[in-house]
Structure 1
Amino acid sequence: MSEGDHSCKLALVTGSTSGIGLGVARELAGSGYRIMLHGLLDAGAGADLAADFTREFAVDCGFSNADLSTLRGCTELVVATQEFGGSVDVLVNNAGIQYTSAAVDFPQARWDSLIAVNLNAPFYLSQQVLPAMLAVGWGRIINIASVHGLVASNKKAAYCAAKHGLVGLTKVLALESAKAGVTVNAICPGWVETPLIEPQIQAIAQAQGIDIERAKMALVGEKQPLPVATQPAAIGQLVVFLLSDAAATMTGIALPVDGGWTAQ
C-alpha cells in the first residue's frame, strides 16, 4: 500500500469523541480514511457522531464505546472494528485518563485504572491488530503519548509512568516490525487546547484578575517557552503526515509537540 490508495484504509482512533482524538479522527476522515470512532458516549450518541462524520467527510464511519480498562474490552473494540470494516490499517492509541496525587498517597485503584487505560490498552490493541498488518506488509501505529513520556511533573506518578512506558513500547514495536512495512511512532504533546484545560484557565483568570487569553498564556507558559497551546487539529495533521509516504522511514520516534518544554 502507499499514500495514494489510502481511501480504502481503515483507521481506529481510541478516545476519539472529544479533544485530541476527535481532532485526529476529523483530519483522517478529511484525508479519506474510513474511521472507527471510540469513546465514552452512549450507543445512540456515538451512532449520531458517526453519521455526522459520514455526511461531512463522505467516508464510512463506525463507533464503539468498549471499555479499554480490561483486555476483554480491548478485544471487544478490535472485533467491533473488524466487523465494521475489516482489518485495521491504522491504529491511533489516544484514549487516556488522568489523576493527580503525591506518590505516597496515590490510591491503588486510581493507579491500576490509569495504567490499564493509558498503557495496557495500547499494548493489547497493538498486539491484536499487528498480525494483519504484518501479513499484508503495511500498517501504522501512532501512540499519543505526552511530554510526560519524556519528562516528569509533581503529582503525576501514574501518568508519567504510563506515558514513559508507552514511549518504550513504541520503540520495541517499531524494532520488531521494522522489516515488515509497519511503522510505530509516538507523538508527545505538551499543552493542547481541549475542554480539559478550561477549568485551570478560568481559575487562573479569577485568581489573578486577568482575561482568559492572558490566563491561558500564564498556564501554558509556566512549562512551555512558547506559551501557545497546540490545537487538536494540528496533532491530527501530524498523524496524517506520519501515515504518508514521506514518513515511510520514520519509526520508533517520540516526537515532542510541546512549545519547547523538553528543550529546556
Structure 2
Amino acid sequence: MPAPGTRTFGRLDGRRALVSGGAQGIGAAIVRSFADAGARVVIGDVDLAKASDLAGQVGMIAARLDVADTGMVQEMMLQHGPFDIVVNNAGADQHAFFTDTTPEDWARLIAVNLVSTFACTHAALPAMQAARFGRIINITSEAARLGSKGGAVYSAAKGGVIAFTKSIARENARFGITANSIAPGPIRTPMLELAVAEGGDRILRAMTDATLLRRLGEPEEIAAAVLFLASDQAAYITGETIGVSGGMGLGG
C-alpha cells in the first residue's frame, strides 16, 4: 500500500470502508464518493433492500446493520471487516418539544445517534490499531453546538459524538488513527423532508434563514468533506469538528 501522501488527491484505492446508514441521504452520497475514489465499501443499513439497490448501482457490498444492536455490529465486523475507514453516519431525529417526549424516546435517540457510534468504533479499532492506520469519521450536527428547538435529545446525543470523537483522537493518535467529525447544517435529505412535513414551510424557512448562504445543503457537499478526511491529504487533521452548514449559527 502506498505511503501516506503518495496518492492522487482524494483517492482511496484499496481502502476498505464501512458507511453506516449508507442506503440513502448523506450516507448514500458518501458511499458514491468513496466508490468513485476507489474504496471498497460496505453499506451498512437497517433497510437491506435500499442498501442492496445502491450496492448494485455502485458495485459494492450491502449488509443489514441495526447500529443500535451491538451484537449485530460485532457480527458485521467479523463478516466484512477489518476496515481502514469507518463513517458513523446512521442517525435518527424526532421533532418534538422535550416535555412531549418519553424516556423510551430518549433511549431510542441516544442508541441510534450516540451508542451506535460507540459500537462501530469499538468494533473497528482493534484491527486499526494492529494495522497502525485508521480513519474514524463521525457525522454529528450543528444542532450539537447550537441546540435545536424541538430536538433536545438529538442535540444532546450529537454533542456526545463530538466529545467522543475528541477522546478517540487522543487515545489513538499513537496508532496512526485519526478521528474527526462533520457537523452538517440543514441538508436536503429524507430526515429533513420528514421534519418539514411535520412542521410545514415555516420550519424550512427557519432552517434556511439560519445559514449565511440562505439555502439548504446537498448530501454531496457533506460527502466531499468526508472524502477529504478519509484521504491521505487529511493525515494531519484529528480531533476536529468541521461545520458544513453554510455558515449556520454565525448570524448575519
- Report if TM-score (shorter chain) is over 0.5: yes
CA distance in 2, matches of 1:46, 1:258: 26
- Under a length normalisation based on structure 2, what TM-score does the superposition of the two structures give? 0.89
Give the Å deviation of 1:98: 0.7
1:52 to 54, 57, 64: 57
CA distance in 2, matches of 1:105, 1:201: 19
Q: Tell me the equivalent position of 1:135.
A: 130
Please tell me whether Structure 1 or Structure 2 has the larger radius of gyration of its CA atoms: 1
Alignment identity in percent? 32
Residue 28 of structure 1 aligns with an amino acid whose one-letter code is F
Q: Tell me the equivalent position of 1:64.
A: 63
2:21 to 11, 15, 25: 15
Q: Assess if the C-alpha contact under 8 Å between 2:98 and 2:150 holds in 1.
A: yes
Give the Å deviation of 1:190: 0.3
Give the Å deviation of 1:263: 2.2
2:234 to 235, 239, 247: 247
CA distance in 1, matches of 2:35, 2:147: 34
Give the Å deviation of 1:221: 2.5
Give the Å deviation of 1:202: 10
Q: Tell me the equivalent position of 1:37.
A: 43
Stretches of structure 2 that go unaligned for 5 or more consecutive residues are none
- Under a length normalisation based on structure 1, what TM-score does the superposition of the two structures give? 0.85
Give the Å deviation of 1:220: 3.1
CA displacement 1:63-102 (0-9 Å, x = unmatched): 11122112112223322322xxxx1100000000111322
CA displacement 1:93-133 (0-9 Å, x = unmatched): 00001113222332111110110111001111101111111
Residue 96 of structure 2 aligns with an amino acid whose one-letter code is S
1:259 to 240, 243, 246: 246
Larger mean CA deviation between 99-108 and 44-53 belongs to 44-53
- Map 1:32-181 onto structure 2 (within 5 A): 32-42=38-48, 45-54=50-59, 61-82=60-81, 87-181=82-176
Residue 52 of structure 1 aligns with an amino acid whose one-letter code is Q
